[in-house]
């Protein structure tokens, strides 16, 4: 077997945007391993224990900033069946004054407030915020929000602990370094306890999620070497957002594969930050992302070298221990909701119990 020649193993993991598709690709030798987020049953807060009427007044009032993009609309979709989170505010600067249904017809049946410009937003009826705005502008906006709000930020603005590294990779000085210190990196399965106490959570990027989830437990258990980690990642197009770009036109994407951001993708420092922390020493990786002709879904094929004496079965067992195999819409919006559930003392998977769609 070629892999054994240099004591390496290949991990496949997915970002769980589209669960059915991901499940199919989580093959590992002969064993099928579903690398899914562990959903430890958290004690349900008494606050929510009372019986809800069908047409309940939702307890937590939610704002979605940047509701006209793909991550924003996905949060709206997920919240539709959430028993405690109700949307009271949505912003979208270029679509201010419009209904969400006019922008996303698949959400037309939802009873939602019209979208407003973020500068006109009134946060007096809001308890928690999903911030789905572009990196760079996000810092300023979050800095200006009332301090009592709980916030899950889906941008990259608060993911890198080192603000110099932020400046290097994102090309501008960080505008809210004090908030950066407060922010908790929201890889739920890894940092559950910190997230529970957090006010501001930096929701991980999709690539880093798909890579850290399988690797962190293996590094912590000292099963794999921290050098020569090679990641070949494949992403659907929705990860690029809804902005009109020539490169993402149907005609440009269909029937082709695109490598991009080679050696320079902005998710590299985020990945290395997470892995290094797990190893308690500096880890660097080789990361090559590819754009695939599909809308949702992500798969990262990871090549690692095992420590002497370690077998593929050991890796498999470790991951089985680390992750109870469960079904959860991961990726940007699902993980954001998972994080807010944790921050609110709710069961982590509340509103996330959807089965994948296939075919």
Q: Which residues are catalytic?
A: 206
| Sequential DSSP letters for 258-300 | EE-STTT-THHHHHHHHHHHHHTS---EEEEEEE-SSSS-EEE
Nearest to 139 by CA among 183, 105, 85, 196: 183
Rounded-to-integer distance, Cα 299 and Cα 16, Å: 9
Question: Does residue 250 interact with a second copy by CB under 8 A?
Answer: yes
Among 46, 244, 308, 309, binds a second copy (CB under 8 A): 244
169 to 228, contacts with a second copy by CB under 8 A?
A: 227-228
Map residues 57-86 to x or -, x wherever contact with a second copy holds by CB under 8 A. -------------x--x---x--xx-----
299 to 318, contacts with a second copy by CB under 8 A?
A: 299, 301, 303
Question: Does residue 267 interact with a second copy by CB under 8 A?
Answer: no
131 to 150, contacts with a second copy by CB under 8 A?
A: none
Tokens matching residue 18: 């589209």
Question: Does residue 287 interact with a second copy by CB under 8 A?
Answer: yes
Any idea of the CA torsion for 224, 225, 230, 234, to the nearest 10 degrees? Answer: 30
Question: Does residue 349 interact with a second copy by CB under 8 A?
Answer: no
- Taking the complex as a whole, the smallest distance from the CB of residue 179 to a second copy amounts, in Å, to 28
Residue 96, number of CB atoms within 10 A of its CB? 16
Give first-to-last CA distance, the chain, whole Å. 33
| Sequential DSSP letters for 198-215 | -SEEEPPPHHHHHHHHHH
Map residues 89-108 to x or -, x wherever contact with a second copy holds by CB under 8 A. ---------------xxxxx
User: Nearer Cβ to a second copy, position 34 or 202?
Assistant: 34
Question: Does residue 342 interact with a second copy by CB under 8 A?
Answer: no
Question: Does residue 49 interact with a second copy by CB under 8 A?
Answer: no
Question: Does residue 1 interact with a second copy by CB under 8 A?
Answer: yes
Phi-psi sector, 254: left (phi>0), alpha (psi -120 to 50), beta: beta
Question: Does residue 51 interact with a second copy by CB under 8 A?
Answer: yes
Question: Does residue 323 interact with a second copy by CB under 8 A?
Answer: no
Among 13, 16, 34, 267, binds a second copy (CB under 8 A): 34
- How do strand 184-185 and strand 200-202 relate by DSSP bridges? parallel
Among 262, 311, 313, 321, binds a second copy (CB under 8 A): 262
- How do strand 229-235 and strand 298-305 relate by DSSP bridges? antiparallel
Question: Does residue 3 interact with a second copy by CB under 8 A?
Answer: yes
- Taking the complex as a whole, the smallest distance from the CB of residue 123 to a second copy amounts, in Å, to 26
């Amino acid at each position: 077997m070629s892999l054994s020649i240099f004591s390496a193993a290949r991990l496949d993991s997915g970002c769980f945007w589209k669960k059915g598709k991901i499940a199919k690709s989580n093959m590992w030798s002969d064993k099928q391993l579903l690398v899914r987020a562990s959903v430890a049953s958290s004690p349900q807060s008494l606050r929510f224990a009372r019986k809800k009427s069908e047409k309940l007044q939702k307890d937590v009032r939610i704002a979605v900033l940047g509701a006209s993009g793909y991550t924003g609309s996905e949060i709206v979709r997920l919240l539709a069946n959430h028993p405690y989170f109700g949307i009271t505010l949505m912003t979208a600067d270029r679509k201010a004054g419009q209904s969400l249904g006019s922008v996303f017809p698949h959400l037309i049946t939802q009873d939602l407030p019209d979208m407003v410009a973020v500068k006109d937003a009134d946060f007096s009826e809001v308890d928690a915020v999903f911030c789905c705005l572009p990196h760079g502008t996000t810092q300023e906006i979050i800095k200006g929000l009332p301090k009592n709000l709980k916030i899950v930020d889906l941008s990259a603005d608060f993911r890198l602990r080192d603000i110099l590294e932020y400046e290097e990779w994102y090309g501008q000085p960080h505008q809210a370094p004090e908030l950066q210190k407060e922010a908790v990196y929201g890889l739920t399965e890894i940092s559950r306890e910190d997230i529970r106490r957090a006010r501001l959570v930096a929701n991980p990027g999709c690539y880093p999620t798909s890579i850290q989830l399988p690797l962190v437990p293996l590094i912590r258990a000292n099963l794999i070497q921290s050098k020569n980690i090679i990641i070949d990642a494949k992403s659907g197009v929705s990860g690029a957002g809804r902005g009109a770009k020539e490169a993402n036109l149907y005609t440009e994407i269909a029937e082709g594969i695109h490598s991009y951001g080679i050696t320079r993708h902005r998710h590299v420092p985020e990945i290395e930050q997470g892995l290094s922390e797990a190893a308690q020493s500096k880890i660097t990786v080789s990361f090559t992302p590819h754009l695939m002709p599909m809308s949702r879904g992500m798969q990262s094929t990871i090549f690692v070298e095992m420590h002497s004496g370690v077998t593929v079965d050991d890796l498999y067992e470790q991951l089985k221990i680390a992750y109870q195999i469960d079904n959860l819409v991961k990726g940007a919006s699902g993980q954001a909701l998972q994080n807010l559930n944790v921050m609110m003392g709710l069961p982590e998977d509340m509103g996330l119990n959807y089965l994948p769609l296939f075919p």
